[in-house]
Amino acid sequence: MVGEFRNEPLVNFDDPQNRAKMLDALARVEREMGKEYPLIIGGERVFTKEKIKSTNPSNPDEVVGYVSKASREHAEQAMQAALKAFDAWKRVSPDARARCLLKAAAIMRRRRFDVSATMVLEVGKSWVEADADTAEAIDFLEYYAREMMRLGERQPLTRLPDEDNELVYIPLGVGVVIPPWNFPMAILCGMTSSVVVTGNTAVLKPSSNAPVTGYKFMEVMEEAGIPAGVINFVPGSGAEIGDYLVSHPKTRFITFTGSKEVGLRIVELAAKTQPGQIWIKRVIAEMGGKDAIVVDETADLDEAAAGIVTSAFGFSGQKCSACSRVIAVESIYDRLLEKVTERTRKLTVGPVKDPANYMGPVVDKAAYEKILGYIEIGKKEGRLVTGGKPLDIPGSPGKTPGYFIEPTIFADVNPRARIAQEEIFGPVVAFIRAKDFDDALRIANDTEYGLTGSVYSKNRAHLEKAREEFHVGNLYFNRKCTGALVGAHPFGGFNMSGTDSKTGSRDYLLLFMQAKVVSEKL
């Protein structure tokens, strides 16, 4: 019998044994630098001439791996392999599918340090952030396995004396899975495992910024016993294969996590019925955020400052849940700004292979240039308090500098300014002054997004008002606005933040199934 779900504990890197294990894992991953990785279609390894070069953002001269790049022909082969595998996989019992996930969780737990080390080198996550990513992936596997077992049981219905009635959940078909790079194991794992545990098959197109991490996931799932063709691994460009797969008449659903612009394009493409298509495609989309932390005059300002810095600058602000706006009432605005600035200036920035560095690089050159562009906009829209510059830190002596940007704070920003409205996805936070708590809530809601938010207050009336009026999918009181835990904080946002799918919840797996009712007259 499977025990009750518990979130995976995080690794304590203050323990010398754990530090040694992580250093060993980093050395093992480094020895594989420059390795070539294939597509996986129907269980077959396919090497292509064209490659995706995955580099270390802390040291762009360092190639983590060369990953085969799929063409439309490969995408079509993956679709056909998934369709073929679906006929058998949908008939596998829910419990048996769930056991594959439990096995995968056990394998990933054993490989935990190697998985985390891969993310340190491929996307620039700090040790702590990478470990939390791996732990969340394990949580998704454990949680969704248990949920599928629950949903596979006989479902309660009102019983009639002269009928036998039954409701069962059946899979949809082939799903296209398009995960992001910023949680390259956790979100990819959660999205893909939920698709397959519900009896569907998947065409997985990982982010081109994190394809090696995606391949490591495939190795885990294969070892766990997922049959050939159930998950097909096809890295490639969105323009060449992403649109093709989304528009494919045999695609039953698309699950996506990424930017608002790409998400809306997927929604538009999926809405158009193709010749031969006999269903309405489902789209499960998690998109951007412009998340705010509101602080009133009763708040513990030290706690608020700590939560703001962690929320804004953890993983260089590259989280859809990251705090990018601080909205403080006038009476404490200057004191809070001073406390946040003081903490921010103490943050260490550099290659995250060194655990002494709190903040690493942003993910690539395009992100680097985009964020620096927003900083220039911010200099015209607010008062630069700290940061605002790129850091010329070479990944190793004589090498190209990594994509490092100082943690940056702008003060006295107008609520309608671009840096207060547009998602920057980097280590930039805008301080906004509010007249009072009601004004602060109004400003917090004055955005097209609605993902996460936080309120620091000791005033019960303020917290209750925010509970009703702060329009976000995940609202936190007197804590940071990042760090949702599977099972404890079902995650998903409102408005342009997506379809509010609530990952890690009792509702989530239902998105990948349909309910069938059979009634027999007795």
Per-residue model confidence (pLDDT) at position 71: 98
Any idea what the Cα angle at residue 107 is, between residues 102 and 111, rounded to 5°?
Answer: 145
Helices (H) and strands (E) in the chain, counts: 15, 23
Joined together, the tokens standing for residue 252 give 């039953």
Active-site annotation holder among 8, 76, 142, 286: 286
What does the mean pLDDT of the chain come to?
Answer: 97
Per DSSP, helices labelled H in 330-381 are 330-345, 365-381
Q: Can you tell me the distance from the alpha carbon of 254 to that of 287, in angstroms, rounded to the nearest whole number?
A: 13
- Taking CA atoms, 332 is separated from 296, 377, 447, 467, 478, in Å, by 7, 26, 24, 22, 16
How far from chain centre, in Å, is Cα 425? 13
Residues 305 and 412 sit within 8 Å (Cβ to Cβ): no
| Sign of the Cα pseudo-torsion (129, 112, 237, 55, in order) | positive
* Local confidence band at 246 (pLDDT 50, 70, 90 cut-offs): very high
Per-residue pLDDT of 355-407, as tens digits, reads 999 999 999 999 999 999 999 999 999 999 999 999 987 665 656 789 999 99
In the three-class reduction of DSSP (H, G, I as helix; E, B as strand; rest coil), residue 432 is classed as: strand
For 426-471, the pLDDT digits (tens) are 999 999 999 999 999 999 999 999 999 999 999 999 999 999 999 9
Give me the amino acid identity at 495: N
Q: Which two tokens stand for residue 36?
A: 């070539």
Structure tokens at 381: 């829209």
pLDDT tens digits for range 64-88: 999 999 999 999 999 999 999 999 9
Retrieve residue 256's tokens. Answer: 């996506």
- Per the listing, tokens 């993310």 go with 119
pLDDT at 395 (0 to 100): 61
Burial (CB count <10 Å: 0-12, 13-18, 19+), residue 414: middle
For residue 45, the tally of other CB atoms under 10 A from its CB is: 11
Please identify which residue in the block is written with the tokens 């009336």: 461
166 is written with which tokens?
């039954």
| CB-based contact 19:355 (threshold 8 Å) | yes
| Amino acid (one-letter) located at 314 | G
Give residue limits of the domains in the chain: 16-287+501-520, 291-485
The rounded distance, in Å, linking the Cα atoms of 513 and 252 is: 11
- The DSSP bridge partners found for residue 520 are 164
pLDDT value at position 440? 98
Residue 240: active-site member: no
- The predicted-structure confidence for 314-365, as pLDDT tens digits, reads as follows 999 999 999 999 999 999 999 999 999 999 999 999 999 999 999 999 999 9
Residue 370 CB-density burial (10 A; 0-12 exposed, 13-18 middle, 19+ buried): middle
Q: What is the per-residue pLDDT for 397?
A: 60
27's tokens: 């050395």
* Cβ proximity of 39 and 68 under 8 Å: yes
As a CATH number, domain 291-485 is 3.40.309.10
Is residue 389 helix, strand or coil?
Answer: coil
Q: What is the mean pLDDT of residues 48-65?
A: 97
Q: Which residue among 320, 323, 381, 423 is the active-site one?
A: 320
Contact 414, 393 (CB under 8 A): no
Q: What distance in Å separates the CA atoms of residue 60 and residue 119, rounded to the nearest whole number?
A: 15
Q: Tens of pLDDT along 148-157?
A: 999 999 999 9
Provide the 10 A C-beta neighbour count for residue 438: 13
| Token reading at 249 | 């008449």
What single DSSP character describes residue 242?
Answer: I
Distance between CA atoms of 152 and 96, rounded to whole angstroms?
11
Q: For the structural domain made of 16-287+501-520, what CATH number should be given? A: 3.40.605.10
Query: Confidence band (pLDDT; 50, 70, 90) for 249?
Result: very high
Q: Do domains 16-287+501-520 and 291-485 have the same CATH topology?
A: no
pTM attached to this predicted model: 0.97
Whether 286 is a known active-site residue: answer yes
From CA 51, how far away is CA 15, in angstroms rounded? 39
Residue 496: partners with Cβ closer than 8 Å, 6 or more residues away? 260, 287, 288, 448, 449, 450
Q: Which of 129, 112, 105 is nearest to 6 (CA)?
A: 105
Structure tokens at 302: 């030290």
Q: What is the pLDDT of residues 195-236, one digit of tens each?
A: 999 999 999 999 999 999 999 999 999 999 999 999 999 999
